[in-house]
Structure 1
Amino acid sequence: MATTGGPLAERARASGVPVIGIPQGLEPRCAVAYVTVAALAAAHSAGLVPDLADELAAAARTTTALAAQWGSDSPQDTGPKRLAGDLAGRVPVFHGIGLTAAPARRFKTQWNENAKLPAFWSELPEQNHNEICAWVGEAQMAGLAPVLLASELLAPPSRVRLQATAEALERAGFTPLLVEGAGATRAEQILSLVLHGDLASVYAAVLAGRDPRPVAAITALKERLAAADSESS
């Protein structure tokens, strides 16, 4: 069981259930690495996945180095800051395929929560079966910015599909932005992309003059739903 503590952890320990501790006080969006490691550890204990400890350790080293490289004092034309600048005033549509699909969705949700800006995501190959028609057709797509998430670990057919999609977008008059994962393992590639998107969304918030921390709209909605539950009970 993965938990930040409290009665649930106490009951689990009393029942002999292994407990993986997660630091308290973190916003859910800030605990993604802790939760990912905990989930993989639990899956390994259940015999569902191999031991990924070495791969996760490598990912920790890679993302720590990238965090230092991409920090607040990094140049404006580097990594996440450059992406935030390129997307200023535009609505990004993050595209992923295979191992980059989940990071693409993460890019979108972080853009929404941290920068308080609209953003969308799409997954290939499904995008090629429907959405591509809107991009290359006569729909009013101005203001949208396609962002393609890539990885050197993608299977060759997936890389070809990603490249073909970029070429189709270019022919339609768009300039797709490319974000590449880093590292030699899947964990490094995925978590480096997550870090890239998280930092870019914070820099986008700064450029938009917004505080990335509060999520007033979510809080208000939760309060409204809680009130409705109380009224119906």
Structure 2
Amino acid sequence: PVHVQRDYVLPAWWTPKWLVLSTSHSGNTEETLEATETALKAGATTVAISTGGMLAGLPELYPRCYLIPSIGGQPPRSAFGHIFSRQLGLLRHLGALPIPSKEADEGMLERLQVAMDGFDILKDPEGDIAQLAMCMVDRPIALLGPTELTPVLNRYRNQLNENAARFARVGVVPEMNHNESVAWGGVGDDRDPTGIDHVLLLLTWNGMHQRVQRRMDWMIAHAATDYAWKIEGEGDTLLESMLHLCILTDWISLALSFLHGKDPASIGPISALKAHLDSVD
């Protein structure tokens, strides 16, 4: 099993038998450092992925800590490929994930490059990406998708937050159908009055469970808003579909940032919070 922990502490059930993979682009993310040192002091084996910083120095202090160096010179958001490829490569090497043929990986990367070029809003400023972003400018944003696409949904929300300074709510199907569906309405008079104003984007891929697909089809058919669309990740595997969706949604977030006049590299509140944390115990 693989468990993702984004906190200062390790789970209560954790034991040093677990391999810890610590990722921090800068190497100075304080919660990552604290949790990593907790694991190392308990005798766990840890692999760090970082461009430098304090995290990259831990192998000099702990013999059970190993470093996979990454490439710096850009924000973590745009270094996603460098970070994720190292995580993926490690998990494949350890046998936690299957190793595809070289031809399969190369074919995937070629298709993703075509998608990257095709979604480029600088080359096509009036294309589908720009048109969708224009619909999102003055409307609340909701993102839905199946459980296996949760990482993509979360990344998309984070990209909208950071690149375009926009909020977005995330719902995971089928779980959200047990409660949030009432707020969306679609049958009878009960619904949140702001639902009609939302842009509703449902992220999909061709390997979804059939029942999840039917749930999402029903939601599209009964959506209170006129701005509801499916966005399908293309690819032969879940991995390729997820990466395809990440590329597509990254471009949408950038298009929206330009429409708002927001510099996507500007992260003033994050920098201010880090400065405050550095000034206090």
**TM-score category (smaller protein):** 0.7 to 0.9
Partner of 1:74: 124
Q: Is the 8 A contact 1:95 1:124 kept in 2?
A: yes
- The structural deviation recorded for 1:167 is 2.0
> 1:144 is matched by which residue type in structure 2?
H
Deviation per CA, 1:123-144: give whole Å up to 9, x if none. Answer: 1111101111111133222432
Match of 1:42 among 61, 76, 90: 90
Match of 1:134 among 176, 183, 187: 183
Correspondence 1:157 to 2:221: no
- The structural deviation recorded for 1:174 is 4.0
Which consecutive residues of structure 1, in runs of 5 or more, have no partner in the other structure? none
Partner of 1:3: 50
Paired with 1:213 and 1:133, the residues of 2 have a C-alpha distance of 37
Match of 1:166 among 220, 223, 227: 220
In structure 2, the residue corresponding to 1:30 is in which secondary structure?
Answer: coil
Correspondence 1:145 to 2:169: no
Q: Is the 8 A contact 1:98 1:154 kept in 2?
A: no
User: What's the TM-score once normalised by structure 1's chain length?
Assistant: 0.86
- The structural deviation recorded for 1:7 is 7.1
Match of 2:264 among 193, 212, 217: 212
> 2:193 is matched by which residue type in structure 1?
Q
Task: Give the 5 Å matches for 1:66-145.
Answer: 66-71=115-120, 72-78=122-128, 80-136=129-185, 137-141=190-194, 142-145=196-199
> 2:116 is matched by which residue type in structure 1?
A
- The structural deviation recorded for 1:53 is 6.4
Partner of 2:274: 222
Q: Is the 8 A contact 1:92 1:145 kept in 2?
A: yes
Q: What's the % identity of the aligned pairs?
A: 25
Deviates more, 1:130-139 or 1:204-213: 130-139
Give the root-mean-square deviation of aligned CA atoms.
2.4
Which consecutive residues of structure 2, in runs of 5 or more, have no partner in the other structure? 1-46
Aligned residue pairs, count: 226
Deviation per CA, 1:94-128: give whole Å up to 9, x if none. Answer: 11103322211211110110011122211111110
> 1:208 is matched by which residue type in structure 2?
H
Bigger relative contact order, structure 1 or 2, given CA contacts below 8 A and separation 6+? 1
Paired with 1:148 and 1:159, the residues of 2 have a C-alpha distance of 10
- The structural deviation recorded for 1:13 is 8.7
Structure with the largest fraction of helix:
1
> 2:262 is matched by which residue type in structure 1?
R
In structure 1, the residue corresponding to 2:77 is in which secondary structure?
Answer: helix
Match of 1:180 among 228, 232, 257: 232
Partner of 1:23: 71
- The structural deviation recorded for 1:175 is 3.3
Q: Is the 8 A contact 2:135 2:199 kept in 1?
A: no
Paired with 1:198 and 1:180, the residues of 2 have a C-alpha distance of 14
Correspondence 1:62 to 2:111: yes
Structure-2 change in CA distance of 1:212 and 1:6 (3 Å): closer
- The structural deviation recorded for 1:212 is 0.6
> 1:4 is matched by which residue type in structure 2?
T
Q: Is the 8 A contact 1:97 1:125 kept in 2?
A: yes
User: What's the TM-score once normalised by structure 2's chain length?
Assistant: 0.72
- The structural deviation recorded for 1:42 is 1.4
Paired with 1:202 and 1:168, the residues of 2 have a C-alpha distance of 30
